[in-house]
Amino acid sequence: MATEEAGSALSFHPMDQFIVKPLFGDGPINWYTPTNVTLWMALAVVGIYLLLVVGTRGRAVIPTRMQSIAELAYGFVHKMVEDVTGKDGLRYFPYIFTLFMFIVFANFLGLLPRAFTPTSHIAVTAVLAMAVFLTVTILGFVKNGAAFLGLFWVSSAPLALRPVLALIELISYFVRPVSHSIRLAGNMMAGHAVIKVFAGFAAVAVISPLSIVAITAMYGLEILVSFIQAYVFTILTCVYLKDALHPHH
């Protein structure tokens, strides 16, 4: 507001794109209110449906382009789960694939102009990360019983160091969901905010060419980041799952 009162053309609202707004009217946001969150998550579902269901409806042995992409995504995550967690982790492949597809689609749809990015919200990523954390922890105890605690007892270290290491391991274990969620939300938020800041500079004629070049470059970087963050989130989920299935180092 202060900038506008000063009469400057520069006005930055880089965070406005993250505001959760009701789709219809301007009422309060209840838990059931259809908001822009609903819209963009629904678009992600539609996108996933188009790619993985409509794209593969031919069931062709020689795939079409869309089917090829769907198979590529399937193979990518399937191989990741198998490589990181082993054969017994493949039971959880549908859950991990769901996470991956949701994050990838939310990230990429969020790159469209005027879009809303659900994955830039800590509320969303925290739920994802907590779901992974709780699932993995419960699964660890169910599969291994008390032996799951062996994850914190580094048997290869000298005996005197083990309690200290156990404490550190315990803390790092509980920090996992925090880093897991903030990494994704922070990356998405920062990239989008930076693009908006550059867009704000574009209003000044002198620096607008530079600003547009910078937006283009940032956009390219964000495309990379969108995929990499989905990949990182998914592979960390696999790593945590591996710890639950095979707690011994």
Partner 1 sequence: MATTTHDAAGAAAGHAAESAGMPQLDFASFPNQIFWLVVTLVAIYWVLSRIALPRIGGVLADRQSAITGDLTAAEEFKLRAKEAEAAYERALVEARSDAQKIVGQARAEIQKDLDAATAHADAEIAARASESERRIGEIRAGAMEAVVAVAREAAADIVAAMGGKADAKAVAKAVDARLKG
Instruction: Give the angle 211-223-89 at the CA atoms, nearest 5°.
Output: 155
> Binding of partner 1 at residue 104 (CB under 8 A)?
no
Nearest to partner 1 of 24, 32 (CB atom): 32
The least distance separating partner 1 from the CB of residue 111, rounded to whole angstroms, comes to 18
> Binding of partner 1 at residue 195 (CB under 8 A)?
no
Q: How many CB atoms lie within 10 A of CB 78?
A: 15
Nearest to partner 1 of 152, 222 (CB atom): 222
Residue choice 85, 107, 120, 226 for contact with partner 1 (CB under 8 A): 120
> Binding of partner 1 at residue 124 (CB under 8 A)?
yes
Residue 147 to residues 92, 138, 140, 169, 248: CA-CA distances in angstroms?
21, 13, 9, 15, 9
Q: Let me know: does 119 contact 242? Beta carbons within 8 Å.
A: no
Residue choice 2, 5, 16, 65 for contact with partner 1 (CB under 8 A): 16
Q: Give CA–CA dist 140/51, Å, rounded.
A: 34
State the number of binding residues for partner 1 (CB under 8 A): 57
The least distance separating partner 1 from the CB of residue 131, rounded to whole angstroms, comes to 8
**Which region among 6-14, 134-142, 151-159, 228-236 touches partner 1 (by CB under 8 A)?**
6-14
Q: Which candidate, 193, 35, 182, 36, places its Cα nearest to that of 123?
A: 182
Residue 203 to residues 190, 206, 218, 247: CA-CA distances in angstroms?
21, 9, 18, 56
- Contact flags string 147-186 toward partner 1, x per CB under 8 A: --------------------------------------x-
Q: Give CA–CA dist 63/15, Å, rounded.
A: 42
Q: Let me know: does 118 contact 40? Beta carbons within 8 Å.
A: yes
Nearest to partner 1 of 19, 178 (CB atom): 19
> Binding of partner 1 at residue 18 (CB under 8 A)?
yes
> Binding of partner 1 at residue 75 (CB under 8 A)?
yes
Nearest to partner 1 of 188, 225 (CB atom): 188
- Contact flags string 24-53 toward partner 1, x per CB under 8 A: ----xxxxxx-x-xx--xx-xx--xx--xx
> Binding of partner 1 at residue 123 (CB under 8 A)?
yes
Under the rule (CB under 8 A), what is the footprint of partner 1? 1, 4, 9, 11, 13, 15-16, 18-21, 28-33, 35, 37-38, 41-42, 44-45, 48-49, 52-53, 56, 59-61, 63, 67, 70-71, 74-75, 93-95, 97-99, 101-102, 118, 120-124, 127-128, 185, 189, 203
